[in-house]
């Protein structure tokens, strides 16, 4: 009887132990599954239009503007007939300079011409008299040559005096400054009573007139981006002063010489100036306004596209180490370890190998791949080749097909956590406009 009780007790102990062991193993199994499975967001590969743009900021300036200065000698400003913001026409009177000194110079030049004419009249009479005497052998050849030389000098002096008079007359005329083109007076730098410094090399800018019907945006583009920009590229322009409005433009000029700031320092920046002509100029636009420009450098229509965040970079062949088989290390040569490749993670219902263009085998993996349990999926590393990119998408050149399901989130999962043949759970499928 005691033996029977001991036997029953031992039986129940064994059963209890087995149940506990089973529960523990199930818990461990579930825990492992939950630990291995990563929540991800997916999206189907689709056809889209991918537009590559270069973005830069700058200021709006007139295509043409004229800086008005005095081309005469320095003179006082007598009057200014316009104000900033006034519209002026070609030939319209703008500024009058003091004519007193200029008139004095003109009168002096005129007097010099009269004196030169009087002298040449005298020299001409002397020349005729000596020539007559020479013909009668009453004057020597030396006297004849001397009077001829004197006449030529007087004639040259008359020509110089006339040229000076013409210059002084032109200077006097230029004391009245007129507009060389139609436009808006954007800047007046002097006031009545101030001195206008003139001359060919040191003339001050008195006024600026700009044609606001033709405007351009001047932007600075980084050296890495400027290589993709060409004259004639179309652009989208957003002006800070015109909210929620997009204007269009064309690249008119790309500088060949860079503008370098912070030369020789860690903050050195090399930019190239790009001018974008506005096709339609809105009313109320003013020089100096801030604007943002998107230059369209390339466009691919109806091509396979993937979200930018879906693409990551890993060492080529790294998935061999993620499979859990140390023996697979021998299938990855040293060159593959160092080479980087771009890839995405593709959703699958079973494990698999990574096949790359030119692969002759599966790197030694057998074909005994597991099927995913209900509610879970596997991810495969899929090397891809991409082309141009927009703000949101990459153009896929090779590696994917339409309707392939790829992981698009989270960023942490794509960039760090996901490995080849890893279990994942799909949270939701993102929908995007084509």
| Same domain, yes or no: 324 and 418 | yes
Q: Is the pLDDT of residue 243 over 70?
A: yes
375: phi > 0 → left, psi -120 to 50 → alpha, else beta; which? left
Average pLDDT, the chain: 83
Q: Is the dihedral of CA 128, 134, 135, 136 positive or negative?
A: positive
- Comparing 169-178, 197-206, 249-258, the range with the smallest average pLDDT is 197-206
Assess if residue 246 is contained within a domain: yes
| Same domain, yes or no: 73 and 179 | yes
Q: Which of 299, 331, 349 is the last residue of a domain?
A: 299
Q: Is the pLDDT of residue 23 over 70?
A: no
Assess if residue 26 is contained within a domain: no
| Same domain, yes or no: 319 and 241 | no
Assess if residue 280 is contained within a domain: yes
Q: Find all residues with CB under 8 Å of 164, minimum gap 6, and list them.
A: 109, 112, 113
pLDDT digits (tens, 9 = 90+) for 129-146: 888 888 888 888 898 888
| Average confidence (pLDDT) over 21-46 | 63
Assess if residue 194 is contained within a domain: yes
Assess if residue 21 is contained within a domain: no
pLDDT digits (tens, 9 = 90+) for 290-327: 999 999 999 999 999 999 999 999 888 777 654 444 43
Phi then psi for residue 360, to 5 deg, are -100, -15
Q: Which of 249, 268, 299 is the last residue of a domain?
A: 299
Prediction pTM value = 0.65
> Residue 354's domain is classified under what CATH number?
2.40.420.20
Assess if residue 13 is contained within a domain: no
Residue percentage of the chain with pLDDT more than 70: 82
| Average confidence (pLDDT) over 331-336 | 52
> Residue 246's domain is classified under what CATH number?
2.40.30.170
pLDDT digits (tens, 9 = 90+) for 55-79: 999 999 999 989 998 877 778 899 9
Q: Find all residues with CB under 8 Å of 99, minimum gap 6, and list them.
A: 78, 172, 175
| Average confidence (pLDDT) over 200-206 | 78
Q: Is the pLDDT of residue 255 over 80?
A: yes
Position with higher pLDDT, 372 vs 286: 286
3-state secondary structure of 371: strand
Which tokens is 402 given?
């339409």
- pLDDT of amino acid 29: 40
Answer whether 323's CB lies under 8 Å from 421's CB: yes
Give residue 338's pLDDT band: very low, low, confident or very high (50, 70, 90): low
Give residue 30's pLDDT band: very low, low, confident or very high (50, 70, 90): very low
Q: What's the farthest any 2 CA atoms get from each other in the chain?
A: 184
| Average confidence (pLDDT) over 97-124 | 87
| Same domain, yes or no: 351 and 250 | no
3-state secondary structure of 346: strand
Q: Which of 299, 315, 346 is the last residue of a domain?
A: 299
Give me the domain span that covers residue 116: 100-174
| Average confidence (pLDDT) over 164-168 | 86
The domain total for the chain is 4
- Residue 3 has a CB neighbour count (10 Å cut-off) of 7
Assess if residue 239 is contained within a domain: yes
Give the start-end residues of each E strand in 31-170.
38-44, 46-62, 65-69, 75-80, 87-88, 93-97
Q: Is the pLDDT of residue 357 over 90?
A: no
- pLDDT of amino acid 326: 44
| Same domain, yes or no: 369 and 411 | yes
- pLDDT of amino acid 16: 54
| Same domain, yes or no: 382 and 399 | yes
| Same domain, yes or no: 337 and 378 | yes
| Same domain, yes or no: 402 and 390 | yes
| Same domain, yes or no: 316 and 286 | no
- pLDDT of amino acid 292: 96
Give residue 367's pLDDT band: very low, low, confident or very high (50, 70, 90): very low
Position with higher pLDDT, 139 vs 34: 139
Assess if residue 14 is contained within a domain: no
| Same domain, yes or no: 126 and 150 | yes
| Same domain, yes or no: 385 and 258 | no
């Amino acid at each position: 009887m005691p033996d029977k009780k001991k036997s029953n007790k031992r039986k129940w102990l064994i059963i209890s132990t087995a149940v506990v062991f089973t529960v523990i193993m199930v818990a461990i199994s579930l825990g492992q599954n939950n630990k291995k499975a990563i929540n991800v967001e997916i999206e189907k590969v689709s056809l889209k239009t991918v537009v590559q743009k270069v973005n830069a900021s700058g200021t709006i300036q007139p295509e043409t503007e004229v800086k008005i200065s005095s081309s005469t000698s320095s003179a006082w400003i007598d009057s200014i007939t316009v104000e900033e913001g006034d519209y002026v026409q070609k030939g319209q009177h703008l500024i009058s300079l003091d004519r007193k000194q200029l008139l004095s110079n003109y009168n002096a030049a005129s007097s010099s011409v009269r004196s030169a004419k009087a002298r040449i009249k005298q020299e001409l009479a002397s020349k005729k008299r000596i020539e007559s005497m020479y013909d009668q052998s009453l004057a020597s050849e030396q006297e004849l040559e001397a009077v001829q030389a004197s006449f030529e000098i007087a004639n040259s002096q008359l020509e110089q005096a006339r040229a000076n008079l013409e210059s002084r007359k032109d200077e006097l005329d230029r004391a009245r400054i007129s507009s060389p083109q139609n436009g808006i007076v954007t800047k007046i730098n002097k006031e009545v009573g101030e001195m206008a410094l003139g001359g060919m090399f040191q003339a001050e800018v008195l006024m600026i007139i700009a044609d606001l019907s033709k405007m351009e945006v001047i932007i600075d583009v980084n050296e890495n981006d400027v290589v993709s920009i060409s004259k004639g590229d179309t652009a989208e322009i957003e002006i800070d002063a015109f909210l929620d409005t997009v204007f269009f433009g064309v690249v008119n000029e790309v500088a060949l010489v860079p503008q370098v700031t912070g030369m020789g320092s860690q903050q050195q920046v090399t930019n190239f100036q790009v001018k974008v002509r506005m096709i339609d100029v809105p009313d109320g636009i003013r020089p100096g306004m801030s604007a943002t420009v998107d230059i369209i450098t390339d466009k691919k229509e109806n091509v396979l596209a993937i979200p930018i965040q879906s693409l990551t970079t890993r060492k080529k062949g790294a998935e061999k180490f993620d499979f859990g088989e140390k023996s697979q290390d021998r299938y990855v040569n040293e060159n593959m370890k160092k080479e980087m490749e771009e890839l995405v993670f593709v959703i699958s219902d079973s494990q698999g190998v990574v096949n790359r263009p030119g692969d002759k085998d599966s790197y030694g993996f057998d074909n005994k791949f597991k099927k995913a349990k209900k509610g879970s999926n596997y991810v495969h590393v899929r090397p891809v080749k991409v082309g141009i990119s927009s703000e949101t998408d990459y153009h896929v050149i090779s590696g994917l097909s339409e309707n392939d399901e790829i992981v698009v989130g989270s960023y942490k999962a794509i960039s760090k956590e996901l490995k080849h043949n890893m279990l994942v759970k799909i949270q939701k499928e993102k929908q995007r406009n084509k």
